[in-house]
Amino acid sequence: MGPAELVQAAAMARRFYLENKSKIQIAEEFGVSRFKVARVLETALERDLVRIEIRVPAELDAERSDALRARYGLRHAVVVESPPDVDESPDPENLGEVAADLLGELVTEGDVLGLAWGRSTIHMAAALDRLPPCTVVQLTGVYDAGTAERGSVEAVRRAAQVSGGDAHPIYAPMLLPDAATASALRNQTGIARAFEYFDKVTVACVSIGSWEPGISTVHDMLSDEERAHYASLGVAAEMSAHLFDAQGRRVGRDLGERCITVEADRLRRIPEVVAIAGGQRKAAAIDAVLRSGLVTSLVTDTAAADYLLAAGSAPKPALQRADPDGV
């Protein structure tokens, strides 16, 4: 490009990229066709006259996020940088902080927000600083071992406080000794009122656990004999007291009869289900739950994302909400 061409290309690029003028407007100003403008702008990029830089906050990995979204057919996928000690610390607190920002985007006025138990959802609720007016309902019973000051009930209250909406917590354990006790509790007034909102939930936030101590809520609540039984069924992941094998199929459905939790078919009908989970130790479990068709969006970290992107054959897209069991 000669001097005159360079000057003209720079002027056109300025109009297009900085002044937001259309190619037709630029063509009229310079007395050329819009096709000529398009060629000049393309040449300006090729000759490095114009440089386009895409910048996101340092902790967000845009490339992995987009690749993960495409692979699983997710509506949203947000990948954050893993901390140095990720092997020892699944679900680092920064996942909850990013998820809080994501909920601020997804939730609209009048929505019903459902929160399932999980350390990551507790971190998310603590980090919330904005939510439109909405109703907040608890989706699972309580398991607050080690998090007494920041439990699931407190998470629901915190989200409702930020949004200015009503809160519907569940004051009951997640796991009961038998199905009869669980059924009786579901019929209690306060718990039944929360359950009535399950079909109205528009955005849900859930956690994912792998089948090992300290990484799965359900695993830690069961006896050794019960753990061995469900392990023999091939359980690879747990979400809201639902168990899944490596292909995303539900196993050990009898456990759900003893649990205070949102049913899987109700979760599948919720328009937006955001899972928060990360770390290498949870990566295979995340893959299993994504294959279940119950989750539409994911907040995770680079350690888990690298595993997910290198996993085997691509699963059915999450947005199809397809049930691997076919039921």
Pull the structure tokens for residue 165.
């909406």
Query: Is-contact 206 215, C-beta < 8 A?
Result: no
CA distance 263 to 256: 8
User: Which of 125, 82, 132, 75 lies closest to 100, judged by CA?
Assistant: 125
Strand order, beta sheet including 112-115: 76-80, 297-301, 272-276, 203-207, 112-115, 135-138, 167-168
User: Which of 272, 239, 250 lies closest to 103, judged by CA?
Assistant: 272
pLDDT confidence tier of residue 10, bands split at 50, 70 and 90:
confident
CA distance 284 to 246: 8
pLDDT confidence tier of residue 238, bands split at 50, 70 and 90:
very high
Does pTM top 0.85 for this prediction?
no
pLDDT confidence tier of residue 89, bands split at 50, 70 and 90:
low
**DSSP secondary structure string for all residues of 23-75:** HHHHHHHHTS-HHHHHHHHHHHHHTTSS-------TTB-HHHHHHHHHHHT-S
CA dist 172 → 128, 144, 238 (Å): 25, 11, 20
Above 80 in pLDDT, residue 319? no
When mean pLDDT is compared across 28-42, 131-145, 294-308, the lowest value belongs to: 131-145
User: Which of 223, 225, 206, 207 lies closest to 215, judged by CA?
Assistant: 207
Query: Is-contact 289 239, C-beta < 8 A?
Result: yes
Mean pLDDT of the 15-35 span = 92
User: Which of 91, 106, 240, 119 lies closest to 163, judged by CA?
Assistant: 106
pLDDT confidence tier of residue 1, bands split at 50, 70 and 90:
low
Mean pLDDT of the 11-34 span = 91
Give per-residue pLDDT as tens, 158-206: 999 999 999 999 988 888 989 999 999 999 998 999 999 999 999 999 9
311 burial via Cβ count (<10 Å: 0-12, 13-18, 19+): middle
Give per-residue burial for 74-85: e unless 16+ CB within 10 Å, then b: bbbbbbbbbbee
Query: Is-contact 234 242, C-beta < 8 A?
Result: no
Q: Within 13 Å and on the Cβ side, how many CA atoms surround 19?
A: 12
Give per-residue pLDDT as tens, 26-71: 999 999 999 999 999 999 888 888 887 665 555 788 889 999 998 9
Residue type, 208: I
Query: Is-contact 44 18, C-beta < 8 A?
Result: no
Above 80 in pLDDT, residue 301? yes
Query: Is-contact 291 247, C-beta < 8 A?
Result: yes
Query: What is the phi-psi region of residue 243: left when phi exceeds 0, alpha when psi lies from -120 to 50, beta otherwise?
Result: beta
CA distance 198 to 250: 20
pLDDT confidence tier of residue 237, bands split at 50, 70 and 90:
very high
Above 60 in pLDDT, residue 298? yes
